[in-house]
Amino acid sequence: MFGKRLSLHRDYIIFSALIVVVVVVLLVATSVSIFVSQSRNRNAEYAMQTDIIDRVLTESLDSVSQILRFVGQQIVQTPADVQSITKILKKNAADSKIQTLLSWTVYDWISPQNQILINSTHGILRDPVLSNRSHLSKTNQIQGKLFFSDPNIGLVSKQLVIPAGMGIKNNSGQFIGTINIGILVSELTERIEQALNAKKINFILLSKDNYKIIAESYGNNVPLLNTASFAHELGYIASDEKDSGMLLHPIHYGTREYNYYRDATSYPFIILVGTDEITANAEFWQVTFPRMIEISFMGLFSIILLYYFRKRIVNPIVSLARTAEQISRQQLHVDIPKGNYYEVSLLAEKLEEIQHTKKELTVMQEAEKIARINAEKAQLALKKANASLETKVQKRTAKLQEALNSKDEFLNNMSHEIRIPIGCIMGRAEMLSEDWDMLDNEAKKKELEEIYANSKRLFELLCNLLDLARSKAGKMTYDMEPHDLVQVVKQGIDELEILAVSKGLEIHFENQVVSATVLMDTIRIAQVIRNLLGNAIKFTAGGVLTITLRNAPLKDVDARNVPGIMFILGDQGIGVPEEELGSIFDVFTQSSKTKTRAGGSGLGLSVCREIITAHHGIIWAENNGEGPGSTFSFILPLILQNSPVA
Ligand SMILES: Nc1ncnc2c1ncn2[C@@H]1O[C@H](COP(=O)(O)OP(=O)(O)OP(=O)(O)O)[C@@H](O)[C@H]1O
Ligand SMILES: [Mg+2]
């Protein structure tokens, strides 16, 4: 039911169109109604006017008839005295009353043989002439009645006259002659027109005998003989309907139109009346035009009123509706049109409030959206942080675990490293004290040497531990002085050569440098060389140990290359697994190859790295590319360039 919504704009167009249609319909209806009413009125008027014409005609011709009858009686009273007849005629002719109606200038007294005996102009004719009036034969038949001939121009008057005549009988009933006169057509039509008192009506008098024109309105003064006959048109009607009234097809004659006809009551005439088109149109427009103006004005006024309402109410409401629609589609920055009327302005104000609220809402929604996005981002970041924290924790835990494991291993190793030499020392010392007397000197010496070796091992272990602890605490002190590295290397070789030889190892030393002066604490560097060489001896079953000194670049703290001297110690021992080459420098860390077999604290290399790092150098291990064994190297900055030192 409400599916199709109404639209103000559409209704405005419909109403405007309706007004135009109504105006057009009203105009047409009014015109038709006026036309019909005028036609109807005209018919009534035609009937009335015809009556008037008939009355005037009857009155006029009756008076003519009376006069002629009177004259006739006079003639009858003195039948032989034509003189007196002439006198009577002349006397009557002088009567101004009837002179206006009759043309007494043309009258005749005519014998039964149609001879003109007396003429109003010429008096008694000595030689009577035959009359040519057509009605004369009829006057013989019915005396005392007027008969007419076709109109013609009077010989004397030179005017259009209707010849009329009346037969006269004497007292014994004998036909004695005819009085003949001419009725002035102009006079007759003037009388009729005066009676009609309305120029707009046209009329024609026709002879009933031959339907020829006897008289015509407006044409009465024209001395022309109208010979037109309407026998065809009126003959048909007259025979068919035998009644008077409206003609189905108006008769056109000249510029005029004749719509109504009727037989004259007392005389053989037909009366035709009508209104010409120009007059009818003028009449029509005279009434219709003001009505049309009225209706058009009302229509125009309605349209103007509608237009005004459209401009003032419909348009603002339509644009408000459009704006509201835009706002509903989130176009929040549109301008809201203002209305002139209070109600429209109120609507605009409320819409503005809605727009404002919506704007605020949008801002809030936007803020909420941003907050949500940020929260999501934060959540994501937190997740990532958690994950990385988790990873870090896992790594740390793994490292911790590793450290714990290292510590456990260290404790195991330490207990092993400490218990064995102490056990050895204690056992041999006990044995010496118990069996002192039974042992020869050689045996005693051997035992004492063993005690010394184990004590030394314990001492070195403790020294390493203490060094490391000091270094980690930043309390290790270095006595730095320029010194020849070759000397220190040779000293180290000397110290450990016996041990190497005892294991069937050879030590080869190759010095490739000219100058090997390094700023160093010789005791500490010697400790490093001892440790590295000790390891090589410890983890090599047999073969050659190669020590090389050569020049090599070194990166300083600013990552610039500085000259350095490189110590390289290659062995042919058990080697280090590739992935453990870095970790063996960590505290308490031993290679997986030696953990169980060779023993040791895993501190030596850590101490070495601490010392070399304190000398701004680097230390690393690598496996030999070809053959067994590994190579341990370090580089120290070279500060002097002198001649090679032997
Ligand atoms: N030349 C080498 N060949 C094979 N493995 C070695 C060599 N040098 C060191 N390693 C490995 O590196 C580990 C660490 O050496 P490090 O000198 O720190 O400890 P250690 O010799 O075991 O004990 P410490 O030196 O404290 O008496 C050794 O246990 C060994 O597994
Ligand atoms: Mg060692």
DSSP string, 371-439: HHHHHHHHHHHHHHHHHHHHHHHHHHHHHHHHHHHHHHHHHHHHHHHHHHHHHHHHHHHHHHHHHTTTS
Whether 479 contacts 523, CB under 8 Å: yes
Tokens (6 digits) for 468? 């490391």
Residue located via tokens 């003195």: 78
Separation of CA 589 and ligand 2 centre (Å)? 11
Q: Dump pLDDT digits (tens) for 94-104.
A: 666 666 666 66
Q: Which residue has the higher pLDDT, 228 or 604?
A: 604
Separation of CA 601 and ligand 1 centre (Å)? 8
Domains of the chain: 31-59+191-281 (3.30.450.20), 60-187 (3.30.450.20), 477-637 (3.30.565.10)
Residue whose CA is closest, atom 19 of ligand 1?
A: 602
Indicate whether residue 131 lines ligand 1 (CB < 6 A): no
Indicate whether residue 413 lines ligand 1 (CB < 6 A): no
Residue whose CA is closest, atom 17 of ligand 1?
A: 604
- Closest-lying ligand 1 atom to the alpha carbon of residue 575: 4
Task: Report the run of H or E that residue 103 belongs to, with start and end.
Answer: strand 102-110
Indicate whether residue 604 lines ligand 1 (CB < 6 A): yes
Q: Which ligand is nearest to the CA of 534?
A: 2
Q: Dump pLDDT digits (tens) for 399-413.
A: 888 778 867 766 776
Q: How many CB atoms lie within 10 A of CB 403?
A: 15
Average pLDDT over every residue of 483-495: 95
Strand ranges across the sheet with 269-274: 213-216, 202-207, 269-274, 256-263, 245-253
- pLDDT score for 224: 52
Using alpha carbons only, how large is the chain's radius of gyration in Å? Answer: 81
Q: Dump pLDDT digits (tens) for 302-320.
A: 888 888 888 887 788 888 8
Indicate whether residue 584 lines ligand 1 (CB < 6 A): yes
DSSP 8-state assignment for residue 208: T
Q: Which residue has the higher pLDDT, 237 or 67?
A: 67
Q: Which ligand is nearest to the CA of 599?
A: 1
Residue located via tokens 């953990």: 595
Q: Which ligand is nearest to the CA of 588?
A: 1
Q: Which ligand is nearest to the CA of 539?
A: 1
Separation of CA 415 and ligand 1 centre (Å)? 17
- pLDDT score for 331: 83
Residue located via tokens 């590739």: 578
Separation of CA 363 and ligand 1 centre (Å)? 70
Lowest mean pLDDT among 75-84, 123-132, 397-406, 433-442: 75-84
Residue whose CA is closest, atom 28 of ligand 1?
A: 590
Indicate whether residue 591 lines ligand 1 (CB < 6 A): yes
Pocket test for ligand 1, best of 584, 601, 608, 634 (most atoms within 8 A of CB): 584
Q: Dump pLDDT digits (tens) for 175-213.
A: 888 888 888 888 888 888 888 876 677 888 888 888 888
Separation of CA 398 and ligand 2 centre (Å)? 26
Average pLDDT over every residue of 209-233: 67
Indicate whether residue 206 lines ligand 1 (CB < 6 A): no
d(CA 274, CA 186): 20
Indicate whether residue 573 lines ligand 1 (CB < 6 A): yes
- Closest-lying ligand 1 atom to the alpha carbon of residue 602: 19
Residue whose CA is closest, atom 7 of ligand 1?
A: 535
The HSE-up count of residue 441 (CA atoms within 13 Å, CB side) is: 0
Separation of CA 539 and ligand 1 centre (Å)? 8
Average pLDDT over every residue of 220-239: 60
Indicate whether residue 467 lines ligand 1 (CB < 6 A): no
pTM: predicted TM-score of the whole model, two decimal places: 0.47
- pLDDT score for 642: 47
Q: Which ligand is nearest to the CA of 463?
A: 1
- pLDDT score for 94: 62
Separation of CA 70 and ligand 2 centre (Å)? 192
- C-alpha distances out from residue 639 to 85, 327, 499, 514, Å: 193, 83, 33, 13
Indicate whether residue 574 lines ligand 1 (CB < 6 A): yes
- pLDDT score for 644: 40
Q: Which ligand is nearest to the CA of 461?
A: 1
3-state DSSP percent of the chain in helix, strand and coil, to 5? 55, 20, 25
